Amino acid sequence: MSNKISVITVVYNDVGHIQETMESFFSQTWEDKEYIVIDGGSTDGTYDAIKKYSHKLAYCCSEKDNGMYDALNKGISKANGDWIIVLNSGDVFAEPDSLKNAISLSKPNEADVIYGNSIAIGEKGEKFEQASDNYQLLSQGPIYRHGSSLIRTDAQRKFLYDLSKVHKIHYALDWDMIYRVYRAGYRFQKVNTTIEKYRVEGMSNHVYRNIWYNYKVISNYKFNIKIFLISIRKMLKIAFYRSFLYPTIKAIGTELMINDILPIIPFWTWRRFYLKMIGLKIGKQSFIMKRTYFMAAWRVNIGDYTHINQGCLIDARAGLTIGNNVSISHNVKIVTGSHDVQNKNFKAIWNSTHIDDYVWLGVGCTILPGVHIGKGAVVAAGAVVTKNVEPYSIVGGIPAKEIGKRSTDLDYKCIWNEPLT
């Protein structure tokens, strides 16, 4: 089944950002794609910047429209792909493999909407945003960023942006569209990868107003006590996060507990209870030994029969998925955050990491951001993995390179005689 992706960018007077957005599309490693750019009649040179790439575009135009959602509907009408994703001017894909990961890490034949994580770019730098695994929570409000999702073209054309509601919910028409798709029974599928980076400015920065508009969409513009209380709770939660109390409570409740107290608690059942309470997902018969240190443990998703040995550093700030029957040896470091050493501002780089079933990570190896380790692969002791590892391959060295192959008929469970610790 074809998985051609149509990327749509709408823009108006944004000459300072449009080139970066377009270059982000051209850097994508997924080959079966097309790019549609709709300009709203810019007067600042934006369209001149677009025309430099006209030979690489499936369609582009510059004409007055009735706002960004009218322009998006226009772009949808020109799409020839199987999937549509919106990349607003000023936003970029999180990494060159963003589109590739969205398709390869999902089951496209079983989904109508594929969504993933995002990174917000604000005045204080970049902030990772984890999308919910439970798409049923769409009944209570947005669970992912619109720009971090692909929707089947036939579904998108059936549920265009409803311009008749623009005066009621203004810039929440994208959420209105998503909610109508959800209510119609279409299939949503989460992939644990980061798809886009978006700028927190303009429409994206009106947090409380967004919650109010989201409430209006879900309640069908009528009073609904349940949804109203959920919305109030969200506003209070955001107010708390922005208060002076939050950093202190966070330091005590997460940093101190997870990395100073939890690693020395002698009983696994106690450690497991706390980790699951703060959001870490872990399957049956999986086990984490003492003196394992976490960064953002609530963004870790571990399958069944997987074991993590002592002294490991698990950095999941950009999301980490570990499959079934994975063996992680002593002192392994898994990292999802880094920096661009050539950037004048030492810009942070965030990429989620994926470790498939039956992987063995040898003692003291390091897994760097954005790496996908394929099923059955082995990483030798002390190796530094900087790029994806093919299934059933054995890699070693710095940087890690393939040094052998592993049997493909693996059929075992990592069952330990579980110790007390």
In tens, the pLDDT along 205-250 reads 566 677 777 777 777 766 777 777 877 777 777 676 666 666 666 6
One domain, residues 184 and 42: yes
One domain, residues 100 and 236: no
**CATH number, residue 61:** 3.90.550.10
One domain, residues 220 and 173: no
pLDDT score for 318: 86
One domain, residues 10 and 67: yes
Q: Which of 120-124, 242-246, 293-297, 326-330 has the lowest mean pLDDT?
A: 242-246
Query: Does residue 416 fall inside a structural domain?
Result: no
Q: Please tell me which residue, 213 or 65, carries the higher pLDDT value.
A: 65
Residues near 127 by beta carbon (within 8 Å), at least 6 away in sequence: 119, 120
pLDDT score for 204: 46
pLDDT score for 421: 47
pLDDT score for 252: 63
For the chain, the domain total comes to 3
Q: Please tell me which residue, 102 or 211, carries the higher pLDDT value.
A: 102
What is the pTM (predicted TM-score) of this model? 0.68
One domain, residues 211 and 194: no
Q: What digits encode the pLDDT tens for the residues 330-385?
A: 999 999 988 888 888 887 888 889 899 999 999 999 999 989 999 999 999 999 99
Pick from 40-49, 159-168, 216-225 the range whose average pLDDT is largest.
Answer: 40-49
Helix axes 207-218, 173-183, angle to 10 degrees: 30
Query: Does residue 13 fall inside a structural domain?
Result: yes
pLDDT score for 243: 66
Give me the active site residues, please. Answer: 339
Answer for the pair 12, 46: CB distance below 8 angstroms, yes or no: yes
One domain, residues 361 and 260: yes
pLDDT score for 240: 67
One domain, residues 191 and 221: no
Question: Is the confidence at residue 420, as pLDDT, over 60?
Answer: no
Query: Does residue 417 fall inside a structural domain?
Result: no
Query: Does residue 251 fall inside a structural domain?
Result: no
Instruction: Name the domain boundary from 243, 264, 295.
Output: 243
One domain, residues 154 and 303: no
47 phi and psi, to 5 degrees? -70, -30
Domain interval for residue 325: 256-405
Q: What is the mean pLDDT of residues 55-64?
A: 94
One domain, residues 228 and 116: no
One domain, residues 220 and 188: no
Instruction: Name the domain boundary from 192, 219, 243.
Output: 243
**CATH number, residue 342:** 2.160.10.10
pLDDT score for 208: 66
Q: What is the mean pLDDT of residues 308-324?
A: 91
Query: Does residue 74 fall inside a structural domain?
Result: yes
Query: Does residue 248 fall inside a structural domain?
Result: no
Q: What digits encode the pLDDT tens for the residues 66-83?
A: 889 999 999 999 999 999
Q: What is the mean pLDDT of residues 380-402?
A: 95
One domain, residues 295 and 239: no
One domain, residues 300 and 179: no
Give, in degrees to the nearest 5, the angle at Cα 134 between 128 and 135: 95
Query: Does residue 412 fall inside a structural domain?
Result: no
